[in-house]
């Protein structure tokens, strides 16, 4: 920004706000003006482009607390002052400003570099700094160097997928808020409640900034047999009392594949977990296992012969109380 602008331009008038405008109202006003005069909405209109640059420049200063304070001080201090080019009146400008510091040399109005340093020091400027660099007169980027562009808003979408899709991964099609379809790649191993972010697919910026994202929240339907444990899959496998007591080879289902055979060792209790390596969730970060938890199934109906056999076994089984250790630990 040229030094003259800080004296000559009334940024409050440019934005149509009062000097005590709040940050929230300032931002609201700027966004409205930026949408109105943005070059994308006024292609080939130089007046609209010039107005957009003007309001962006004003907002870049007033939206920054430090720059706004400096601007207000300069405007108050330089009320009525004007810069003139060297050779016009022989003083090189800053007449009214420098007169406050009595910096004339030999009765004239020629000023050295240190005179400028005295003025800039009021605004925390380093010696040798120039307009357009540092805090004093600094532009903040954005459209052609003016203003701070606003990032476009994110768009939220939701989808519900089945358990196998979440495990294996798949590309699905969803409908955007504008009614247009868009594709989403569901990565293998996505979890229930996880969010997938599609960069740059959201709403455009109102003033040439970064486009927002589409954020897809995923809900996974539960599976009737399998559950997730990180990259592992869990399944509960019922076994009979005799299989658990005497040992057996059983079949265990896998997700979307053929069953596998597992050996149940004699005396296997309920709750013991048998592991099948590499049959869990397969992702780019690794592959989990299938964890089969054994559960001893108790028959709900016994015929006379089976009941008599169990009663004979009861007479022969070891006379140990399986809850003795539990009771001892509970008593402390």
CATH of the domain at 181: 2.60.260.20
Residues 116 and 15 both lie in one domain: yes
Structure tokens at 300: 């709900």
> Does residue 99 belong to any structural domain of this protein?
yes
Final residue belonging to a domain, choices 220, 245, 272: 220
Q: What pLDDT sits at residue 218?
A: 96
Q: Cα dist. 88→44, 81, 93, 114 in Å?
A: 38, 15, 8, 22
> Does residue 80 belong to any structural domain of this protein?
yes
CATH code of the domain covering residue 81: 1.10.287.110
The residue range of the domain holding 267 is 227-326
Residues 100 and 200 both lie in one domain: no
Q: What pLDDT sits at residue 6?
A: 63
Residues 7 and 117 both lie in one domain: yes
Contacts of 231 (CB under 8 A, 6+ apart): 189, 280, 281, 283, 285, 286, 287, 288
Residues 214 and 246 both lie in one domain: no
> Does residue 128 belong to any structural domain of this protein?
no
Residues 262 and 201 both lie in one domain: no
Could you give the angle at the alpha carbon of 129 between the alpha carbons of 128 and 130, nearest 5°?
115
Residues 118 and 182 both lie in one domain: no
Residues 53 and 118 both lie in one domain: yes
> What domain count does the chain have?
3
> Is 0.75 topped by the overall pTM?
no
Q: What pLDDT sits at residue 40?
A: 73
Residues 235 and 211 both lie in one domain: no
Residues 13 and 54 both lie in one domain: yes
Q: Residue 207 in 3-state DSSP? A: coil
> Does residue 142 belong to any structural domain of this protein?
no
Structure tokens at 246: 């005497």
Residues 215 and 235 both lie in one domain: no
Q: What is the mean pLDDT of each run of 10 residues along the chain (332 residues)?
A: 60 89 89 82 82 85 85 70 43 44 42 42 41 39 56 91 94 84 92 93 86 94 95 96 94 92 95 95 93 94 91 87 88 86
> Does residue 295 belong to any structural domain of this protein?
yes
> Does residue 257 belong to any structural domain of this protein?
yes
Structure tokens at 63: 């939206």
DSSP classification of residue 101? T
Q: Residue 275 in 3-state DSSP? A: strand
Q: What pLDDT sits at residue 59?
A: 86
Q: Residue 181 in 3-state DSSP? A: strand
> Does residue 76 belong to any structural domain of this protein?
yes
Final residue belonging to a domain, choices 220, 238, 262: 220
φ, ψ at 115 (rounded to 5°): -65, -40
> Does residue 139 belong to any structural domain of this protein?
no
Residues 191 and 100 both lie in one domain: no
Q: What pLDDT sits at residue 38?
A: 80
Final residue belonging to a domain, choices 182, 200, 220: 220
Residues 60 and 110 both lie in one domain: yes
Q: Which of 32, 116, 27 is nearest to 64 (CA)?
A: 27
């Amino acid at each position: 920004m040229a030094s003259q602008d800080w004296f000559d331009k009334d940024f409050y008038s440019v934005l149509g706000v009062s000097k005590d405008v709040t940050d929230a109202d300032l931002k609201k006003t700027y966004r409205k003006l930026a949408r109105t005069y943005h070059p994308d909405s006024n292609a080939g209109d130089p007046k609209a482009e010039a107005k957009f640059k003007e309001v962006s420049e004003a907002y870049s200063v007033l939206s920054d607390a430090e720059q706004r304070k400096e601007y207000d001080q300069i405007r108050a201090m330089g009320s009525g002052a004007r810069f003139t080019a060297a050779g016009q009146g022989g003083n090189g400008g800053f007449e009214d400003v420098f007169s406050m510091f009595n910096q004339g040399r030999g009765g004239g109005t020629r000023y050295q570099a240190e005179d400028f340093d005295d003025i800039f020091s009021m605004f925390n400027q380093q010696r040798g700094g120039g307009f357009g660099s540092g805090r004093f007169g600094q532009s903040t980027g954005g459209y052609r160097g003016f203003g701070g562009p606003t990032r476009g808003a994110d768009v939220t979408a939701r989808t519900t997928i089945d358990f196998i899709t979440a495990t294996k991964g798949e590309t699905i099609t969803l409908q955007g808020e504008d009614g247009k379809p868009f594709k989403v790649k569901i990565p293998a191993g996505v979890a229930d409640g996880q969010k997938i972010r599609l960069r740059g697919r959201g709403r455009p910026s109102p003033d040439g900034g970064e486009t927002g994202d589409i954020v897809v929240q995923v809900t996974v339907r539960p599976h009737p047999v399998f559950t997730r444990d990180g990259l592992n899959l869990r399944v509960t496998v019922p076994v009979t009392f005799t299989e658990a007591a005497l040992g057996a080879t059983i079949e265990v289902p896998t997700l979307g594949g053929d069953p596998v055979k597992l050996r149940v060792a004699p005396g296997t209790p309920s709750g013991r977990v048998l592991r099948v390596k590499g049959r869990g969730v397969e992702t780019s970060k690794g592959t989990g296992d299938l964890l089969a938890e054994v559960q001893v199934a108790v028959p709900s109906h016994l015929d006379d012969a089976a009941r008599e056999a169990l009663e004979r076994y009861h007479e022969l089984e070891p006379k140990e109380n399986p809850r003795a250790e539990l009771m001892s630990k509970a008593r402390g």
